[in-house]
Structures are given as C-alpha cells and as structure tokens.
Structure 1
Amino acid sequence: MTSTHSGRRLHLATALDQPAVRTAGPYVDAARLAERGALDFVTLGDGFGRPGPEALAVLSRVAPDTARIGLVPTVTTTHTEPFHVQAAVATLDWVSRGRAGWRIDVSTTEGEARLFGRRRAAPADALWREAGEVADAAARLWDSWEDDAEIRDAATGRFVDRDKLHHVDFSGASFSVRGPSIVPRPPQGHPVRVVDATERPARAVAARHADVALVRAAHPGEAAAVRGELRASAAAHGRDPEGLRVLASLEVDLGDGEGAAAPGHGGGGPRPTPHGPRYRGGPVDLAQLVIAWHREGAVDGFHFRPAEPHRDLERLVNGTVALLQHRGLFRTFYPGATLRDHLGLARPANQYAATGGTP
C-alpha cells in the first residue's frame, strides 16, 4: 500500500453531483471513472429542498455496475424514520457487497419542514443532537442480527436462529425505535458513516459516530486544527482517534488544464468562497497541494467536488490522481473489497454478541 512520506495512507474521494442529470447513465459513468482511479469512495448529495433523483436510489443503481469503489449517499435524519434509514443503508451495503457509506445530514429549513407538516424547523444544534441519536440507533439495529444468525435450513424450515437476534428498544428525544432490524447485519458490520464537520453543531456527531469527517478549509492550518479537535473529542468519547479519517472537502475547477494555478490558489492554497474553499488551476498544481497538506499532517486525504462534473472529474482522475500514483503516493489498485478496507478501518464487533444482551 502506497502512502506519502509521512507514512500515513492517503485517502481520496470525489462527489458525483450533477444537478441537471435525471438518468442513471452519467452517474454510472462517473463512478466507473472514479473507480479507474482507485478512489476510496464517491458521494452523492441529497436533501428535501433540492431537485433531482434520490441519492440512495441512484447509488443502488450504480452498485452493480461497479466493483470496488465505495458508495456514499447523503441521507438526512430530519423528517425521516430512523428504522427505515438504517434499513435502506444496510440494504445498499448488501447490494454493493460491502461498499456502502452514509453521509449523515440534517434538514434545517422551514420549507423542508412544510413538505412533511409534522413539525416546524428546528435550530441546527437540536437537529444534530437528533442526528447523533439516529446514528446510535442505527448502529444498534445493524447489530441486532449476529453475523451467523441466518440458518437457511430447508430441512427443518428454520431461517434464523432466534437466539442470535437481539431486541433494540431505543428512545431518543424525538423518536423511539424497536428492533431487531428487518435486514441482516450488513457485510461491513456498520456501513461507513460520513459527516461534514465544518460547522460546529455537526462536530460532536462526527467525533462520536463518524468514520470519515469532511472539513471545508482554505488553509492547512485550519484543517489541522479541526482534525486535532475531532480526534481529541473522539478520544474523550472512548474512541480510538486512529479510527477517524479527516478529509479536506475542496471544490476544484480544473478548466485551466495544465496552466498555473490562479493567484491565491496552488501553492498559496484554495481561495475562500461563500460556498467553501475553491481551487482553480491545473491537475499538477492540485497534486502538489494534496501532497503538501497530507505531508504536513493537516488531513488524511481529500474529498473533491468538481466544479464542472464531467470535465473536472476526468482531469482529476487522469491528471492529479495519475500523477500521485506515478510518484508512488497513491494506490493503483484496490487491495481489499469493502469501503472499510479502502479506508483502513476495522470491521466493528457486534455490541450485542460481545455482551450477550442489551448494551
């Protein structure tokens, strides 16, 4: 496995968002291109206030046409049923044979709330506390089946060993769920959970529950500070901070081809914008930025958001990633099969099987 000179493995991911696309083909093509570059995973945004197909459904369609790359849809925890959310994410993990992730998000606007009519919009702090409870409930439901609970014994007619199914009775501030789940334990145990930890209300959820935290930072020092805070908070929650990957989420505009980075970009770093940091320049300069930030220990890798989906993803994979691979700084093939393998994350133990009962 290749890595930068720091000795830490470099992780790369990309967004597949294509706002004008309504058919599956372009998403499949983009995911395949990212897979040719051996990227860890792709993300697809979603939300009740944005037009377009449902991210989880799209990536379920992408799954059979890809073989290794991780698939991470955004699924909001606001105005949704936690039991259904966990079952849908677990199903994606089965469909993709262990490559699913879940980008946890919240829905903050009154317009989104009116779509459901159940409750008014709430402050971000309260919604993220609820998101943390949903993440906790999901983990319990994923563990409600032990790995060998399925018997499938045709002779006796027994499908499942009931002693290896565990009841979940979880009560949060705004919901309650009971298990076991309707879906057997996912291939990864727990699909990979991703949280954008740029805004402070989301950081507690990222530190406690996320496997991958995204940070929109314009300077390596800013990213390093957030990474340090998240890892310290994870340790305070009893987690091993080495089990949390922190990626810089960066919009990239590679329209200038091999031209030098625009002033304020390249070696000077991305330029801040109201929508997050934006890099504008060539693939070679972007590779140098990736190397510099990772070598400094600011981040564990990058999550790219192409400004022009087709053009920039192609230049990213065939330019930036190819250069990193040529220099031995990023892998050229997937040594494992699951998203946890790509990220170097262990498969979680089943909390019920370990204790023999309710944790």
Structure 2
Amino acid sequence: MRSGRLEDALESLYTVLASDPANGIVRAYLSLLKMSEGEIEASALLLNDAPQSAWEAADMHIQRGRLTLYAADRSRDGTGVHDRGLIRGAISFFDSALERDRENALAWLGKGRTQRQLGEIPEAEDCLVRSARLDPNETMISVELALLRIDQDRLQDAERIIHEAESALNDTNVLHYVKGLIAAGRGNNDEARRRFDDVLVRDPSHVRARLNRATIAMIQGDHPVALEDSERLLDAHPELDLARILRAEALMGLKQWDWAEIALQEILDRKPQHVPALISLGITLCALDRAEEALSPLDEAIRLSPDNPDAWHMRAQFYIEQGTLSAALSDLEAAIRVDSRHIDSLLHAAAILHEIGPSDKAELAWRRVLDIEPTHRLARTRLTEIESRSIET
C-alpha cells in the first residue's frame, strides 16, 4: 500500500509532466518511482511515450538502462545465467547518459553494475570509483562495490565496505541481502539463512532472497522449506526455471520420486537441453528402479556439457549402482580432470581404488582427498590402513 506522501509526490510530478511533457528529469523520476512500486509496464510506458526532446536529459537514458537491467535480472533469476545481450544493451543506455553528462554519478554506477555482471571486473571497479568520487554520499555505490568484492571472493573486503555503509543505508533489505551473500560465501549457512529470512519478512516478493533461502535450505536438508519457497516463487513467476529445478530437487530430497519426475519433465518439456534437469532425471529414474531409462539423460547431460563435473559424477553413481566399477572410475577421473577439487568424485574414486586396487593408486587417490581436505577422517583412516598393510608385507 502506498503512503500518502508518495501519492502526493506522484500527483505533483504528474501535474508537472502534464504541463511540460518534454521534462526528461521529471519523466525519468516518475518512471523510477513506478519501477520501485513494481509497476514495470507503467514505468516503461512513461519512457516510450516521451517526446524526442525529453531524451536530451541524461536521466532518461539512465532509467532506460535500469529497466533493461531489471529485465536482465529477471532472465538471470529464471535461467541462472546473465543475458549478455540485455546487459550490453543496458551499457549502451548508460553510455548515452554519459555522452550527455560525463559527471553523472548514477550513470557511472549503472555502467559499473553492468560490467560487474559481465565479469569485466577492472572496468567495473573503475566506473564505481568514478561514481564514488562524483557522489560520495550515494550508498548504492558501496553496495555495488561490496557485490564486486563478493564476485572476486574477497569476502572480508565486502564485509568491511557494507559495514562502513550500514549507518547511511536506508534500504535494510539490501543490507541483509548482501550480508546473507557474504555469509553464504563463507559457508555460514545459518547466518545466511537468517539474513534471507529478514529480507523476506520485510519483502515476501524478493525473488533473489527466496531463491537463495531455498538453496540454503536444500544444503541444510530442510527440504519442506525449499519446496515451499520454490512453489511460492512459481506461483508468482511461472517462468523461473531456477525455482523449477529447486522444486524438483526438494521433491527428490523428500523421496517423492514420482512427483520429482513430473517436475523435471516439466522443465525438459520447456528446455530439452537443461543439463541440471537431465542429471536430476537420471538420479530420479534410478530411485524409481528404472535404471534402464536412467542412462540416456545422463549421457545427454555429458554430451551437452562435457565440462560439467556433476554430470560425470552422477553417471559414475549410475555405474556404481550397476556394479560396473571400471566405468564408474573412468567417469570419476573425467570429473576430476574437469575440476581437480571436486571432492565427491575424489572420494568415490579413492573408495573404488581402495576396493579393487592396486594399493599404490588407492594411496595416491586418498592423498588427493587430503590435499583438498587435510582433516578428512575417512581419508586419513584409509591411508593409514594402506600404509599399515605395506609395512606388514
């Protein structure tokens, strides 16, 4: 529900715009207010209906860039990947704003955000530094810098930046969300979940917070919460494929295999080349004692994404279930070649070699595990067993 003050502000702005339709500053601000209220079509219409002269204002191009980034964010929420075409489009709008006003901090901020999403880290940092120099009081610059540090896995720097901005940051949802990302990056899932909970109490429609909470819930084994979050997301946003895969994985966690199969088939009907869904379908079919059907989706996942270690690892699990250990070991080694730190594949490869030998290869395999996790008890125990047998012989 809107506050009376917001209603008064909107009425005043519309009055100004009615008498001066070419006022790009007022038109862009109205569009921003509509966007903040979730009225995306109305926000875009204000820009689309603008006379050509209104586009002389840098604010108009900044707002067009914001709307394009909003579309890119929705695409990312649905697929898990950034739509580089949309993001490049957003950059062009921020560049247009800078052509009209090189000293516009918000234009540099928007461009920095787009470059961060494209992975152009040095360029993004340059833009954000310029923005901060032009407007040291704009707190969203600190938020973007913190997100940049998270992307760089510089979590301590991200925490320092967001802490320094905390007292000036009016949007507590942004604060808790970024702190949740930092906690998740550190593996502190309890704190991360508490932060995402805080965001959702204030804004139940926050898509990224709910997606992240569902993911954390899956990690914690709280499958009912993950299922509820994914279904709430799909009720509001049926196009969100990330929510669809989370729902399927939650159903798998609850051992509701028949429903999981239906959920996965829904994804694959929409996107036949959805690799995570193909992998999960293979697992589900095995659980349903339909092993003869399970190999096909796993083969397809590897064909589509040979650099995906999870695809190799899950096909190896299929072969283990079938007792074909040599084929399983081959797939596990393929997963390790793709990702030398894929701990599940390292463990399973070591376990197979421990069983079938030779002992020197088993020893090497357990040492690979300890190189990644030096305190891993099982690996240490198995290595001690091998060393003891060697001494005895």
TM interval, short-chain normalised: under 0.3
Task: Tell me which structure has the larger Cα radius of gyration.
Answer: 2
Structure with more helix by fraction: 2
TM-score normalised according to structure 2 size: 0.23
Structure with higher strand content: 1
